[in-house]
Structure 1
């Protein structure tokens, strides 16, 4: 059960990181015997943004790519199955090129990236995977060039910023170190907020499992502070804007009252009103930030949902904001 929870997190996480730079299909059906690719990435050459902030992961995005993440160490049988899916996709692309009587350029040849927490030397030698340390560094094992396949052994990746986004998909100490580093990134980092949001969803999914294993229980404990920190960050943003706006509006109203009741009394009432308005705006901004992080810009439906959520206790709505999909959340809190 928990393996599937982690597998879904890995797919969602990669999809979130890669979507700005191309087209994602997760899963993608493969012809023949029923098989599915975990995640298919097709780069968009017209994307104005550079994937450079993704470090080592960015170097995998110059070709169409198949990503197959594994929670447990990958086996030889699983590697063969991944390669078979790659070969089927390559054959489909070549047939399409022949039908259109056009060559299939190298830039359209897909690459296979198998992500595994660990891998034994015996396994890597058995599939002919070797390091290309000068060009890729430690932890990236390539099969012979014609196979267009690499195995990323996450626990062997060096611990620096370039490998961070891949190490988040590791296990145990490696994953927890990556989470520590993720928290320390600047709040302005374009991927930090969404990665933390997905980790919070992972925590909620793991907590819903009645029999988490010791490793998952440890991960739950490590992830527990993340939601509070993320909510606090959203609240700080809302507080700064809300208190400032509330103070200005409250002072203006207080000064008006002060003309009739006395300037000092009006000022105090205005400040108190401003603080109250600021707290309301703070809460609204925090919940709106979480909705946008999960579902994108607020449309009419989400705005109506926001109006309902701000009237409910945080203890009631926050776990559901992380766990439910949009349709489920709307159904849960729809107007009577």
Structure 2
């Protein structure tokens, strides 16, 4: 898989899931050289561990640095992540000296390296050990003063507690996690958020011409969920439109108002569902919607759905703006 789409998906994914528990910052620059932490997490003062996130929630009970990897980590990956961690330690200590204070060990963040797999020789070389009684399989700890843990996703048991980490796995492990996600009730807030992020990832992958077999399998696995989510959004828009139309219809007159309100409500609901689809596609491909991208949403909606989707998938930002401006 192309590095950037997965890297951005993993950052957005962890940010969305951890935000209710505290402050989350992605791509945070550190030290004198240009290096970035993938995900920086600081727990909120009044939030305790929640069972909703299972194992991921346990990892977020204290200040933490999350470094997710798409492919199996190697020696250099671990050293690079630990280098970032030590840079953070040095920064916090310098800051404390300037303020005539002291950094407590409990205030220092813990590094969590998340990898689909890891070789036994690599783990043993860093002295990584399991704590099966308290953490189960797949969660390794380095020596305490290093404040580093390695989560090997393919070793995690396929349970509801590990689901939100297994989503970041690879191959059959990720596919099983997606199947497990589909079994969660449709109104579950976490399910809705994760499906939205996976839909964006699917859209980005489909734009690429040279897809690896693994990427094609992932798209096929996500397609039914994506179509179902789009249908849900459209239906929700229709229901909201009908409800609003009925309310206005009653105000203008029972008989005439209901008839016109339902018609307008259905039209508005369908359009709202289409707008959600176009906005999500623009965000997935170009990031946050700025004024220029927002300005072309209405012209896109004026086109047949097939035509607007083709333009969004095949044209660059510059080409889209030029076409509609």
TM-score, scaled to structure 2:
0.84
Equivalent in the alignment of 1:280: 267
How far is 1:335 from its partner?
7.8
How far is 1:32 from its partner?
3.8
User: Equivalents in 2 of 1:212, 1:281: separation in Å?
Assistant: 37
Could you say if the C-alpha distance between residues 127 and 319 of structure 1 is closer, same or farther in structure 2, counting changes exceeding 3 Å? farther
Equivalent in the alignment of 2:302: 311
Could you say if the C-alpha distance between residues 123 and 45 of structure 1 is closer, same or farther in structure 2, counting changes exceeding 3 Å? same
1:214-255 Cα distance to aligned partner (Å, 9 max, x none): 111111111222321111111222222323443565578685
Equivalent in the alignment of 2:175: 176
Could you say if the C-alpha distance between residues 234 and 323 of structure 1 is closer, same or farther in structure 2, counting changes exceeding 3 Å? farther
Q: Is the 8 A contact 1:115 1:153 kept in 2?
A: yes
Could you say if the C-alpha distance between residues 34 and 128 of structure 1 is closer, same or farther in structure 2, counting changes exceeding 3 Å? same
1:246-265 map, 5 Å:
246-247=245-246
CA RMSD of aligned residues (A): 3.6
Q: How many residues align?
A: 321
Equivalent in the alignment of 2:223: 224
How far is 1:163 from its partner?
0.9
1:55-74 map, 5 Å:
55-74=54-73
How far is 1:193 from its partner?
1.8
Secondary structure of the structure 2 residue equivalent to 1:191: helix
Unaligned runs of 5+ in 1: 258-266
Q: Report whether the alignment pairs 1:19 with 2:10.
A: no
Could you say if the C-alpha distance between residues 141 and 204 of structure 1 is closer, same or farther in structure 2, counting changes exceeding 3 Å? same
Unaligned runs of 5+ in 2: none
Secondary structure of the structure 2 residue equivalent to 1:63: coil
How far is 1:25 from its partner?
2.7
Q: Report whether the alignment pairs 1:206 with 2:197.
A: no
Could you say if the C-alpha distance between residues 252 and 92 of structure 1 is closer, same or farther in structure 2, counting changes exceeding 3 Å? closer
Which is higher, the Rg of structure 1 or of structure 2? 1
User: Equivalents in 2 of 1:196, 1:319: separation in Å?
Assistant: 22
Q: Is the 8 A contact 2:275 2:301 kept in 1?
A: no
TM-score, scaled to structure 1:
0.81
Q: Is the 8 A contact 2:249 2:261 kept in 1?
A: yes
Could you say if the C-alpha distance between residues 28 and 250 of structure 1 is closer, same or farther in structure 2, counting changes exceeding 3 Å? closer
Deviates more, 1:298-307 or 1:184-193: 298-307
1:1-336 map, 5 Å:
2-46=2-46, 51-247=50-246, 271=259, 273-287=260-274, 291=279, 310-317=301-308, 332=321
Could you say if the C-alpha distance between residues 209 and 285 of structure 1 is closer, same or farther in structure 2, counting changes exceeding 3 Å? closer
Q: Is the 8 A contact 1:283 1:310 kept in 2?
A: no
Could you say if the C-alpha distance between residues 304 and 28 of structure 1 is closer, same or farther in structure 2, counting changes exceeding 3 Å? closer
